[in-house]
Amino acid sequence: MRRLLFAANWKMQVDPAEARGYAAQFLGATAPVEGRTLWFFPPAVSIESAAGALRGRPDIRVGAQDVHWEPKGAFTGATSIPLARGAGAAGALVGHSERRHVFGESDEATGRKVRALLNAGLTAFLCVGEKLEEREAGKTEEVVLRQLRAGLAGVEAGALSGLVVAYEPVWAIGTGRNATAEDAARVHQTLRSELGRLGATTRVPILYGGSVNIGNALGLLAQPEIDGVLVGGASLDPDGWAEIVGIGG
């Protein structure tokens, strides 16, 4: 059976106490589904309480929304991989479009973070996606391939088993607009071919993200190229998110 990943990105929301309340409600509304893994990405301050409250469900993992590539040092405001791991993180998002476009994070910085995560044995969720003007200029493929190659620069083929890729068209994030399932699947195919050229021997999960909700999730997941979803807004309500992670299961 095909494995599916459901990833919840809470962004700058859900404090430690709210994370405990969310977890209790979510756990009460769901049971593990064979072949499905659930990831939660709380803000850094809530990783520990989310991980603690969700412990005991072997299908659930918690990750950080961002990490620094250095293990320690004078980087005020940043979260290192050892700090995130100590709080209960098993992986991290890297290069989310808000990191790239709001915080000006470069392709090169993204690559350093991916390498540091994989070297530490954590799962790296490398996010890629084109802006609206890039899509309209016919540059979707060029942009996502550039981001993928830069994000994986210096990564040995054998380490790709610790990787998840998320395709999130920037124009679809938080806007209520999303790519059609067929459009998304075409981009996933392009990414998958490139992963093959880079030497991936196992199937790297490729998630779709951008205004995913209960109404469109099933159509997206019906595409064999789409291995799961990365969800912001629709993951904030525990009952709504429970419905999405159970969809079609």
Place of tokens 């969809």: 247
CB 231 within 8 Å of CB 6:
yes
- Catalytic option among 134, 168, 188, 225: 168
Report the nearest approach of ligand PGA to the CB of residue 169 (Å).
10
Name the residue with the smallest CB distance to ligand PGA: 232
- The smaller minimum CB distance to ligand PGA, of residues 155 and 212, is found at 212
- The smaller minimum CB distance to ligand PGA, of residues 160 and 231, is found at 231
Report the nearest approach of ligand PGA to the CB of residue 7 (Å).
8
Using alpha carbons only, how large is the chain's radius of gyration in Å? 17
Report the nearest approach of ligand PGA to the CB of residue 11 (Å).
7
- Catalytic option among 68, 96, 98, 225: 96
**Residue 168 catalytic?**
yes
- The smaller minimum CB distance to ligand PGA, of residues 52 and 240, is found at 240
CB 54 within 8 Å of CB 40:
yes
Positions in the binding site for ligand PGA (CB under 6 A): 9, 168, 173-174, 209-212, 230-234
Type of residue at 211: S
Helix/strand/coil for 8: strand
Q: Nearest-5° angle of CA 26, CA 122, CA 216?
A: 45
**How do beta strands 123-128 and 163-167 pair?**
parallel
> Which residues participate in catalysis according to the annotation?
96, 168
